[in-house]
C-alpha cells in the first residue's frame, strides 16, 4: 500500500477509536437510570419543600435477596415506592399502592421480598426496556395490569378469603363453572384432552405458536388470544392430521379473559418446583378446609359435576353445545338435561362408571377428540349416586309432558 493509504488508515482508525471512546464515556456518565432518579429527587424536594433532597447523590439501588436468588434493582428508578408523600406523582415516581387493604404493605416489606417475586420483570436490569421487557431471553417480563394477582399463590396456598385476591376467587368460580378440568389437567388431576395448565406459564416463549397471536410475543398474550379464539390461535396442522384445538370458544368478555389469564398464571405460581424457589418461611400455609355440607343429594351432585369438570364436554349445567368433531350423531357431545327420558338412574350410573367411546360419523375421518371417560374408581360410589340424582334433576319442567323412563320401562 502506498504510504498515504497507511496514513489514511491510521487517521481513520484513531478517529474511530476516539469517537467510540467518547460514546463509551457518554454512556457511563449519563445512563438512563440517572435521569429518572434525578427527576425523582427533584420532585421529592418540591413535595417535601426541602431543596437539599434534590442534591441526593445518584446511585444504583438494589434489594439483594440471596435466599430468593434475586437481585431487584427496580428501586433505582422506582425510588419512591416506600415514600407515602409521593402518592400523587406519575410513574415511576409514585408510592406503591396499598390496594385499600390496611396492613398490606407492612405484610410485604420491600427489603425482604423485593419486587420481581410479585411483578416479574428482570430484576438485575437498570434500563426500562430490559427491566420491563419483553426482551429476548428473559422469560418473565413485567406482568401487565390485572395479572399481578396471579402471583399471590406463590406464597399464599389458600386464596379464598384472602383480601386483595378476590379476582382470583372470581376466576376460580368461572373456571369451575366452565369445567376446564374436564379437558385439562391441573397439578396432575383432570383429563388429558388438553395440556397441563400449571405448566403454561413456565414454558419458554418458543414453545408457543405465535403465528396468529397479535401483539408482543409473550406467554400472557398467547394465553389471552387463546381464550379469545382457541381455533384461530391453535389451528393445528391439517397436513399432518393434527386437528385444530377442540377447546370451545366460550366468547369470554375482555374482563373474563383477564381474570382467567391471571388464574392460569396463579396455577404456575403455586407449583412447588420453581426455577428460583421461595424460602419455606415465606409460605402462608392453607388452613384446614372444612368438609362441605350439602342441603340435598342434588346439591352434592352439582358439586361433583363441577369438581370433575363435566361441563367441559356436556356444557354448563349439562346443557350441551360442545362440538365433538366427527362424532355420530350431530358432531356434538350429547347434553345431559334429557337423561331422565332415556335412562334409569342405574343406567346413568353405569354409563358414568364404564365410559363410552363415540362412533365416528365418517368412518374415514379422524377420531372424535372427546370421549366419556370411565369414572369407576375415580369417583366414589356415593358421589356417583349424588351425581345421577343431580343429572336427573336437570330435566326441564317444560317437557314434563313427555314420558319419563322408569325402572319398569
Partner 1 sequence: MTDQPTPPVPPPPPSKPLKSMQQVEVDESKVWNLWFTRREFLTMAAWGTVLAGLGGSALGLLRYFIPRITYDPPSIFKIGKPEDYPLGQVDERWKKKYRIWVERESIEKGGGLFVIFARCTHLGCTPNWLEGQNKFKCPCHGSGFRRTGINFEGPAPRPLERCKVALADDGQVVVDISTRFRNPKDWNKTDAYLKVKV
Partner 2 sequence: MSKFQAKLSDIARVIRTSKIWKSIFRHSYQDTPRNRALMVLSNVFLHLHPVKVRPASLRYRYTWGLGGLSFYLFLSLTLTGVLLMFYYRPTIEHAYWDMKDLRFVVPFGPFLRNMHRWSAHVMVLLVMFHMASVFYRSAYKPPREYNWVVGVILLLITFLLSFTGYLLPWDQLAIWAVTVGTNMAANSPILGSEGPFSIVTPDMDARFILLGSKIVGQSGLLRFYVLHCVFLPLIFIILVSVHLWRVRKDEFSAIPLPPEEERRKGVLPEEWVKKHPEALQEKVFTWPNLVSREFVALLAITAILVIWSVFGHAPLEELANPNKTPNPSKAPWYFVGLQELLVYFDPWMAGVVLPTLILVGLIAIPYLDINPTGVGYYNFKNRKFATGIFTYGLVLWFGLIFIGYYMRGPGWELYLPWEKWDHFRPTSQIGLHNMPNWLGLVFLLGYGALGMLIPKIFFKDFYKSLGPIKYLVVMFLVLVMFFVPVKIVLRNVLKIKYIVSFPDFNLNI
Out of 50, 112, 209, 381, the only residue in the binding site for partner 2 (CB under 8 A) is 209
Residues 188-207, interacting with partner 2 (CB under 8 A): 204, 206-207
Shortest distance, position 13 Cβ to partner 2, whole Å? 4
Q: Is 185 in the site for partner 2 (CB under 8 A)?
A: no
C-alpha to C-alpha distance for 55 and 60, rounded to whole angstroms: 15
Residue 84's binding partner, choosing from partner 1, partner 2, none, with beta-carbon cut-off 5 to 8 A by kind? partner 1
C-alpha to C-alpha distance for 343 and 355, rounded to whole angstroms: 15
Residue holding cell 391453535?
A: 234
Residues 78-97, interacting with partner 1 (CB under 8 A): 83-85
DSSP string, 173-195: HHHHHHTGGGTSEETTEE-SSS-
DSSP string, 139-155: S-PPPPTTTGGGGGGGT
Q: Is 26 in the site for partner 1 (CB under 8 A)?
A: no
Residue 313's binding partner, choosing from partner 2, partner 1, none, with beta-carbon cut-off 5 to 8 A by kind? none
Shortest distance, position 113 Cβ to partner 2, whole Å? 18
Could you tell me the three cell numbers for 20?
467510540
Residues 349-408, interacting with partner 1 (CB under 8 A): none
Angle at 156 between CA 151 and CA 158, to 5 degrees: 115
Binding span for partner 2 by CB under 8 A among 86-94, 123-131, 262-270, 293-301: 123-131
Cβ atoms 314, 346 nearer than 8 A: no
Shortest distance, position 66 Cβ to partner 1, whole Å? 8
Q: At what angle do helices 219-228 and 254-269 cross, to 10 degrees?
A: 130
Q: Is 18 in the site for partner 1 (CB under 8 A)?
A: yes
Binding span for partner 2 by CB under 8 A among 13-21, 165-173, 319-327, 350-358: 13-21
C-alpha to C-alpha distance for 223 and 213, rounded to whole angstroms: 9
Residue 363's binding partner, choosing from partner 1, partner 2, none, with beta-carbon cut-off 5 to 8 A by kind? none
Out of 48, 83, 95, 127, the only residue in the binding site for partner 2 (CB under 8 A) is 127
Out of 35, 55, 69, 283, the only residue in the binding site for partner 2 (CB under 8 A) is 69
* Sign of the CA dihedral with 348 first, then 353, 354, and 358 last: positive
Q: At what angle do helices 345-354 and 381-393 cross, to 10 degrees?
A: 120
Q: 135 Cβ partners below 8 Å, 6+ apart?
A: 122, 129, 141
The contact set with partner 1 (CB under 8 A) reads: 7, 10-11, 14-15, 17-18, 21, 24-25, 28, 59-60, 62, 64, 73, 83-85, 106, 111
The contact set with partner 2 (CB under 8 A) reads: 1, 6, 9-10, 12-14, 16-17, 20, 23-24, 28, 60, 62, 69, 71, 73, 124-127, 130, 137-139, 204, 206-207, 209, 237, 239-240, 242, 275
Amino acid at each position: 500500500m502506498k504510504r498515504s493509504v497507511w496514513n489514511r488508515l491510521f487517521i481513520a482508525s484513531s478517529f474511530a477509536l476516539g469517537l467510540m471512546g467518547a460514546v463509551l464515556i457518554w454512556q457511563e456518565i449519563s445512563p438512563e437510570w440517572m435521569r429518572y432518579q434525578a427527576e425523582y429527587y427533584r420532585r421529592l424536594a418540591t413535595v417535601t419543600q426541602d431543596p437539599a433532597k434534590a442534591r441526593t447523590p445518584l446511585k444504583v439501588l438494589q434489594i439483594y435477596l440471596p435466599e430468593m436468588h434475586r437481585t431487584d434493582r427496580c428501586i433505582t428508578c422506582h425510588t419512591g415506592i416506600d415514600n407515602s408523600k409521593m402518592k400523587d406523582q406519575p410513574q415511576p415516581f409514585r408510592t406503591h399502592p396499598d390496594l385499600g387493604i390496611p396492613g398490606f404493605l407492612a405484610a410485604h416489606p420491600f427489603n425482604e421480598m423485593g419486587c420481581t417475586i410479585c411483578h416479574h420483570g428482570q430484576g438485575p436490569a437498570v434500563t426500562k426496556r430490559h427491566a420491563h421487557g419483553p426482551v429476548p431471553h428473559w422469560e418473565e417480563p413485567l406482568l401487565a395490569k390485572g395479572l399481578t394477582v396471579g402471583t399471590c399463590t406463590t406464597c399464599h396456598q389458600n386464596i379464598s378469603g384472602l383480601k386483595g385476591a378476590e379476582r382470583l376467587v372470581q376466576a376460580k368460580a368461572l373456571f369451575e363453572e366452565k369445567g376446564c378440568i374436564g379437558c385439562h389437567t391441573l397439578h396432575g388431576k383432570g383429563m388429558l384432552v388438553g395440556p397441563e395448565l400449571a405448566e403454561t406459564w413456565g414454558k419458554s416463549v418458543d414453545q408457543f405458536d405465535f403465528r396468529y397471536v397479535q401483539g408482543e410475543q409473550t406467554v400472557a398474550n398467547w394465553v389471552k388470544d387463546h381464550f379469545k379464539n382457541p381455533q384461530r390461535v391453535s389451528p393445528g396442522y391439517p397436513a399432518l392430521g393434527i386437528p385444530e384445538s377442540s377447546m370451545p370458544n366460550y366468547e369470554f368478555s375482555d374482563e373474563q379473559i383477564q381474570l382467567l389469564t391471571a388464574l392460569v398464571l396463579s396455577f404456575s405460581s403455586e407449583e412447588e418446583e420453581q426455577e428460583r424457589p421461595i424460602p419455606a418461611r415465606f409460605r402462608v400455609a392453607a388452613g384446614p378446609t372444612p368438609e362441605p355440607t350439602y342441603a340435598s343429594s342434588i346439591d352434592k351432585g352439582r358439586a361433583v359435576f363441577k369438581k370433575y369438570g363435566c361441563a367441559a364436554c356436556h356444557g354448563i349445567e349439562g346443557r350441551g353445545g360442545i362440538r365433538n368433531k366427527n362424532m355420530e350423531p350431530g358432531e356434538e357431545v350429547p347434553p345431559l338435561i334429557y337423561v331422565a327420558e332415556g335412562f334409569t338412574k342405574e343406567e346413568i350410573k353405569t354409563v358414568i362408571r364404564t365410559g363410552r367411546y363415540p362412533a365416528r360419523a365418517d368412518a374415514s375421518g379422524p377420531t372424535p377428540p372427546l370421549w366419556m371417560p370411565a369414572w369407576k374408581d375415580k369417583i366414589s360410589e356415593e358421589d356417583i349416586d349424588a351425581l345421577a340424582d343431580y343429572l336427573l334433576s336437570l330435566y326441564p319442567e317444560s317437557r314434563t309432558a313427555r314420558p319419563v323412563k322408569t325402572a319398569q320401562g
